[in-house]
């Protein structure tokens, strides 16, 4: 098979070894994958795959089941599926545990399905499982124009949770609001804290989903309501900063660190099953949709990474295998 291989820091579409199929696993002929910021980090050598995972980039895909391992009953040969991966998506074939595989939602194309698994699993896991988001609670979503952000906005709309976003331009804020966000702040205009407090009527928000980390911590804590939860899912703004423990205690705040990639297979399967039950009906009804910025042939993965790295995208950048 062919796959994207990092050669002298360049992304090259070349021959690679086919992955072996194990018990409980599924082999997928990949039609499309998607670029996530984690792929850029892995390429730079700062986010290695978990032990046992493929070192090929790519955390999600959509395609056709071409082989099933012993004990697999969840899918069958020929099924059109999408999958959450620990790695390996930038390739013609990928092997993945069956619990991380779901059917392509009815009415969606393979390309659209490739934009779903990683970002919707991340958004669902951290909003509803980690943060325990309840109906009516207010949410602050940083990087609202990202893949995770656009997924989270739509999830919040379906569960009746008003949400406020930060993003890098007024145009992105407007597009987030068109998706269902109730307010927004251009991060280039300074701290979001005062705007969030005004939007929330002075009480603050109940849940914050944050891929920034250290750079936003102080303002995040101020922006939280009593019993608020901050879920940190990335460190784009640094790993270390000071922490106001007094504020945490007075407001009974919780800071939750969360990653998806390295979780056990059973934990990932639980998230995927929740998506099948809670999100798939919305995708099939059209009330939630994957947001795709651009589709690029996989041999041009270098250009796709440059596009994501430029921070000008809205939603997902897909890699198509033709």
For residue 178, tell me if it sits in a domain.
Answer: yes
Q: Are residues 125 and 223 in the same domain?
A: yes
Q: What's the CA angle centered on 259, arms 162 and 39, to 5 degrees?
A: 105
Dump pLDDT digits (tens) for 159-200: 999 999 999 999 999 999 999 999 999 999 999 999 999 999
Q: Are residues 214 and 313 in the same domain?
A: no
Residues in a beta bridge with 94 = 28
The mean pLDDT of 232-257, rounded to a whole number, is 96
* Residues shown for the chain: 322
Alpha helices (H) in the chain, listed in sequence order: 37-43, 110-114, 117-124, 147-158, 170-179, 193-199, 217-223, 245-251, 265-278, 280-285, 301-309
Q: Are residues 210 and 126 in the same domain?
A: yes
For residue 275, tell me if it sits in a domain.
Answer: no
In this prediction, residue 272 carries a pLDDT of 98
Structure token digits, residue 258: 């969360």
For residue 8, tell me if it sits in a domain.
Answer: yes
For residue 316, tell me if it sits in a domain.
Answer: yes
Q: Are residues 86 and 210 in the same domain?
A: no
Distance CA 91, CA 305 (A): 16
In this prediction, residue 137 carries a pLDDT of 98
The yes-or-no verdict on residue 9 having pLDDT over 90 is no
C-alpha dihedral sign at 306, 43, 232, 223: negative
Q: Are residues 127 and 160 in the same domain?
A: yes
Q: Are residues 51 and 130 in the same domain?
A: no
Specify whether the backbone of 278 is left (phi greater than 0), alpha (psi in -120 to 50) or beta. Answer: alpha
- Supply the CATH number for residue 106's domain: 3.90.180.10
- Burial category of 147 from C-beta neighbours within 10 Å (exposed 0-12, middle 13-18, buried 19 and up): buried
- Burial category of 129 from C-beta neighbours within 10 Å (exposed 0-12, middle 13-18, buried 19 and up): middle
In this prediction, residue 163 carries a pLDDT of 98
In this prediction, residue 8 carries a pLDDT of 87
Q: What percent of the chain has pLDDT over 90?
A: 98
Residues in CB range of 189: below 8 A, 6 or more apart: none
Q: What are phi and psi of 218, to 5 degrees?
A: -60, -50
Q: Are residues 76 and 134 in the same domain?
A: no
In this prediction, residue 322 carries a pLDDT of 80
For residue 245, tell me if it sits in a domain.
Answer: yes
Do the Cβ atoms of 204 and 196 come closer than 8 Å? yes
Q: Are residues 142 and 246 in the same domain?
A: yes
Specify whether the backbone of 160 is left (phi greater than 0), alpha (psi in -120 to 50) or beta. Answer: left
- Supply the CATH number for residue 193's domain: 3.40.50.720
Task: Domain of residue 10: give its range.
Answer: 2-116+289-320
The mean pLDDT of 19-32, rounded to a whole number, is 98
Choose the final residue of a domain: 212, 242, 257. Answer: 257
Choose the final residue of a domain: 237, 257, 277. Answer: 257
Distance CA 213, CA 231 (A): 10
Instruction: Please tell me the total count of domains within the chain.
Output: 2
Q: What are phi and psi of 3, to 5 degrees?
A: -155, 165
Q: Are residues 240 and 311 in the same domain?
A: no
Q: Are residues 106 and 128 in the same domain?
A: no
For residue 284, tell me if it sits in a domain.
Answer: no
The yes-or-no verdict on residue 249 having pLDDT over 90 is yes
Q: What residue ranges in 86-138 does DSSP mark as E strands? A: 93-97, 101-103
C-alpha dihedral sign at 57, 62, 66, 72: positive
Choose the final residue of a domain: 257, 272, 299. Answer: 257
For residue 282, tell me if it sits in a domain.
Answer: no
For residue 129, tell me if it sits in a domain.
Answer: yes
Dump pLDDT digits (tens) for 54-90: 999 999 999 999 999 999 999 999 999 999 999 999 9
Dump pLDDT digits (tens) for 145-162: 999 999 999 999 999 999
Looking at every residue in the chain, the average pLDDT score rounds to: 97
Q: Are residues 18 and 67 in the same domain?
A: yes
Indicate yes or no: pTM above 0.85: yes
Q: Are residues 194 and 111 in the same domain?
A: no
In this prediction, residue 112 carries a pLDDT of 98
The yes-or-no verdict on residue 111 having pLDDT over 90 is yes
């Amino acid at each position: 098979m062919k796959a994207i291989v990092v050669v002298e820091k360049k992304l090259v579409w070349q021959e690679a070894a086919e992955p072996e199929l194990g018990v409980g696993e599924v082999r997928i002929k990949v039609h499309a994958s998607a670029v996530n910021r984690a792929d850029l980090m892995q390429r730079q050598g700062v986010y290695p795959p978990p032990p046992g995972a493929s070192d090929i980039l790519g955390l999600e895909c959509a395609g056709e089941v071409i082989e099933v391992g012993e004990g697999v009953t969840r899918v069958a040969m020929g099924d059109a599926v999408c999958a959450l991966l620990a790695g390996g998506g930038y390739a013609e074939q990928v092997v993945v545990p069956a619990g991380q595989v779901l059917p392509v939602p009815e009415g969606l194309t393979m390309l659209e399905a490739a934009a779903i698994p990683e970002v919707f699993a991340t958004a669902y896991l951290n909003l509803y499982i980690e943060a325990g988001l309840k109906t009516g609670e207010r949410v602050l979503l940083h990087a609202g124009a990202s893949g995770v952000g656009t997924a989270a906005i739509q999830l919040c709309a379906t569960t009746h949770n008003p949400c406020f976003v930060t993003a890098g331009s007024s145009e992105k804020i407007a597009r987030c609001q068109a998706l269902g966000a109730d307010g927004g702040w251009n991060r280039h205009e300074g701290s979001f804290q005062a705007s969030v407090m005004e939007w929330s009527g002075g009480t603050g928000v109940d849940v914050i989903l944050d891929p920034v980390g250290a750079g936003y911590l102080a303002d995040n804590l101020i922006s939280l309501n009593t019993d608020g939860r901050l879920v940190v899912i990335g460190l784009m703004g640094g790993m270390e900063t000071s922490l106001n423990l007094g504020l945490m205690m007075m407001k009974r705040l919780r800071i939750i660190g969360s990653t998806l990639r390295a979780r056990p297979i059973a934990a990932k399967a639980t998230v995927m099953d929740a998506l099948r039950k809670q999100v798939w009906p919305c995708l099939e009804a059209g009330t939630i949709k994957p947001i795709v910025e651009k589709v690029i042939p996989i041999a041009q993965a270098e250009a796709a990474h440059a596009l994501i790295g430029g921070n000008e995208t809205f939603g997902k950048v897909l890699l198509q295998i033709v």
